[in-house]
Homo-oligomer: A and B are copies of this chain.
Amino acid sequence: MKGITRPPTNLQTLAAQLKALAEPKRLMILHLLMEGVQCNCELGDALKLPPNLISHHLRMLREAGLINVERDAVDARWVYYSINRAALDELNTAFGSFFDPDRIKPRRPTCGPQSSVVRVSDIAVTA
């Protein structure tokens, strides 16, 4: 009888990133960033949200390490956000490892009325 295996991913880190993603407007921002839209004003137009709120959501995504920031070389008033490709790859890997359906194991009856019942699969065949 095998023990419990450690989760394949750091749960604190995964939960923190998922928290940043678990917001409809932020998902929409990420979608727009993937589509090539990248400045605060356009995001605000698309989502019908004021610029300060866009800034807030962008900050959440940035602090989760999911996006990059860059200032325009010609006119430094403009700020461009973009997907952090490496972070996205890591996220996909972590998510895929954790929620891999192949990890699902059958119930281990160490609890409840059946916990003391001897299972056929546990009886050693000796002769």
What residues of chain A have their CB less than 8 Å away from a CB belonging to chain B? 4-5, 7, 11-12, 14-15, 18-19, 21-24, 27-28, 30-32, 34-39, 41-42, 46, 72, 74-75, 78, 80, 82-83, 85, 88-89, 91-92, 95-96, 98-99, 101, 103-108, 110-114
Given A5-B35, A39-B112, A95-B95, list of 17 further CB < 8 A pairs? A4-B32, A4-B46, A7-B27, A11-B27, A11-B31, A15-B23, A18-B22, A19-B22, A19-B23, A34-B105, A36-B105, A38-B107, A72-B112, A80-B112, A85-B104, A92-B95, A96-B96
Give the chain B neighbours of A88 by CB distance below 8 A. 99, 101, 104
Contact B107 A99 (CB under 8 A): no
Which residue of chain B has its CB nearest to the CB of A35? B4
- Among B31, B110, B111, point to the contact of A98 (Cβ < 8 A): B31
Contact B72 A113 (CB under 8 A): yes
Contact A91 B99 (CB under 8 A): yes
Minimum Cβ distance to chain B for residue A2 (Å): 9
Contact B99 A80 (CB under 8 A): no
Which residue of chain B has its CB nearest to the CB of A19? B22
- Among B32, B99, B105, point to the contact of A92 (Cβ < 8 A): B99
Contact B14 A112 (CB under 8 A): no
